[in-house]
Structure 1
Amino acid sequence: MITKYLADMMTKSGQSPVFETPEQYGLQYQDVTFATKDGVTLSGWLIEGSSDKVIIQSHFGVQCSRAGYTPEGKGMIKLHKQNISFLRQAKHLVEQGYSVLMYDLRNHGNSGQGINEYIAWGCEEAKDVVAAVDFISTHPTYQDSQIGLLSICMGTSSTSFAYGLENGLQNYSNIKALISVQPLRYLDYMSAMGVPDFLTKRVNKYNMKRGGADLSGSFFDFVGNIKVPTLVIQNENDPWTKLDAVAEYFDLLGGDKEMLMLRLDKSRAAAYEWLGTSPQYLSEFFDKHMR
């Protein structure tokens, strides 16, 4: 049934193993766990660098983990032909004087299951981002640190939703900067794939009936609450999005902002790969706003 197939593709966590460790990159780290307000145990790495500047990286959804993406076990249709390692940009950031918290969102990697098994495109995962910020903000070593957020795709939607929660990110004055990589709404994604509106609505209705979230809600409603300096990174050749929607997200941001439009291969994953091959753009932005 096409409805179930599309719903599973969008909301059922794929195989997202933690396929590397910081040790393989010569990094000092701790395995950490911390709990969300609704009781989900999240698993991560706290990679040791500076004690006064910490980057919190939130990965993209469905087929990803804190380590990044691997095509192994993904079937015939793959997002990317080879591994995309997020530890590459983490290593660079540590070398530039930052500590890095990398963690698995609920229903991904080694983290626990949420209220249900289905991915919510950020509205539930927002609690994970808040928990990560709270973990650093109350950590004996890092509680006085400045925080920078590196939020990738669903990490961006989760971060935006987190700015709309009653006890959300707007209450943390230690967050100094945000890098948002390829923001994407469910409705825009489905439209970019050529799925007609009636089928998009049917998929969402099916997903809610089986216990999943309402995916028609937009994290754009809370983007105006983001007042920290923000860099938006987008591949202009990304076939899975609408550039007008990315421009709308950018316009809604409530603070100082920059847009970095990349000209990469016609692939959603090209920008994720670029993060590890051009990490100096990340550190340059964080350096500007975290001193």
Structure 2
Amino acid sequence: MADPDGGGTLDVLLDVMAEEFSILTRSPILHTPAESGLEFEDVTFPSEDGTPLEGWLIPANSADTIIIMGHPQWCSRAGLPSHLEPWKSLGAYGGNDFEVNFIPDMKILHDAGYTVLAYDHRNFGHSGAANNGFTSNGIFESRDVVGAVQYVRGRQDTGSMRMGLFSRSMDCNATFFAVARRPDVFEAVRCLVGCQPLSVRVAVEQRLLSMGIPLDRLPDLDERIRRHISFRLEDLSPLPAARKVTLPTLLYQVRDDVMTRPSDVQSMFDSLPAVDKALFWIEGTTRRWDGYCHFQKEPARVLDWFERHLT
């Protein structure tokens, strides 16, 4: 990238990137389970710190198992309207300009016999605002994961159900942070499926490279981000938390995702102390959103993981 004024234009761009990184635009909930003929209950429950969270409880007849679904950054429980602006621009540089709809995933899980709790994290969807609207790549959001597990345990109709977690991207990071911080809450959780956990530093590096910005400006951007949210990029890494996750864990990732590098999720997988763990790669695409939509197209491996650990 050329910078004709000797740094000024690039400095302004880094300021804008830091501000956009700090506070995210909410996406609307454009779909509901009713579109797939599913009965559901609108529910609200508190996060660990009291932030009100909104979700859907989708019961399966005679189910004694439940799957808790969070969502990636920028999304809501329903998905992401990234075929529309301004959400289209969020991942368009990586070819991610198509809609993500999570309702088919809920239908697949329901039809496989699982009750489903799908909810919005703080500052997303219909859930409450918190932490001045800042995103933290899972640190603050880990409180929502704790709240969701406690909510399921506290309901009379779900309290004794065997529980699994289906966590994507930011929500997977949040789950790592939550399990590391509150292992007592997760003693009753049987397993985790994690789709595309992400180190923010790696994602930011990839974004800078895609824009032609030299990586020697990364420390400048890092400092700008810290001034907004009080965290450095390294503070947001889920890797240290992953080293404390002993749940049976299945991870998967688009191998050639241009928004990250394979080494990032591989390092998280290698760090997991879980005895029972697996990792598979999605091939033939560079689009991160294909990872988010993979389950509804090829659900067998994820369903097998849940069946093995929840029955």
Give, as a single letter, the amino acid of the residue that structure 2 aligns with 1:221.
P
Q: Within 1, Cα distance between the matches of 2:129 and 2:86?
A: 20
- In structure 2, list runs of 5 or more residues that go unmatched: 1-11
Q: Deviations over 1:1-24 (max 9, x none)?
A: 212322234332123111101111
1:75/1:130 CA distance change after superposition, 3 Å: closer
Correspondence for 2:135 = 119
Q: Is 1:133 matched with 2:161? A: no
1:75/1:92 CA distance change after superposition, 3 Å: closer
Q: Higher helix share goes to which structure? A: 2
Q: Do 1:18 and 1:65's aligned partners in 2 also have CA atoms closer than 8 Å? A: yes
Q: Do 2:43 and 2:55's aligned partners in 1 also have CA atoms closer than 8 Å? A: yes
Q: Within 2, Cα distance between the matches of 1:92 and 1:128?
A: 24
Q: Within 1, Cα distance between the matches of 2:245 and 2:279?
A: 15
Q: Which one of 5, 13, 21 corresponds to residue 2 of structure 1?
A: 13
Q: Is 1:66 matched with 2:74? A: no
Q: Within 2, Cα distance between the matches of 1:126 and 1:271?
A: 22
Correspondence for 2:292 = 272
Give, as a single letter, the amino acid of the residue that structure 1 aligns with 2:300.
Q
Q: Which one of 258, 263, 279 corresponds to residue 259 of structure 1?
A: 279
1:245/1:28 CA distance change after superposition, 3 Å: same
Larger Rg: 2
Q: Do 2:146 and 2:185's aligned partners in 1 also have CA atoms closer than 8 Å? A: no
Q: Percent identity?
A: 28
Correspondence for 1:225 = 244
Counterpart secondary structure, 1:148: strand
Correspondence for 1:83 = 99
- In structure 1, list runs of 5 or more residues that go unmatched: none
User: TM-score, length-normalised on structure 2?
Assistant: 0.87
Q: Which one of 205, 208, 218 corresponds to residue 200 of structure 1?
A: 218
Q: Do 1:54 and 1:100's aligned partners in 2 also have CA atoms closer than 8 Å? A: yes
Q: Which one of 192, 215, 230 corresponds to residue 178 of structure 1?
A: 192
1:243/1:75 CA distance change after superposition, 3 Å: closer
**CA RMSD, aligned part only?**
1.8
Q: Within 2, Cα distance between the matches of 1:93 and 1:10?
A: 33
User: TM-score, length-normalised on structure 1?
Assistant: 0.93
Deviation, structure 1 residue 93: 0.5
Q: Do 1:93 and 1:100's aligned partners in 2 also have CA atoms closer than 8 Å? A: yes
Q: Deviations over 1:68-105 (max 9, x none)?
A: 11122326635333321111111000000001111111
Correspondence for 2:179 = 163
Q: Is 1:41 matched with 2:52? A: yes
Q: Do 2:19 and 2:228's aligned partners in 1 also have CA atoms closer than 8 Å? A: no
Q: Within 1, Cα distance between the matches of 2:45 and 2:115?
A: 17
Question: Alignment length, in residue pairs?
Answer: 288
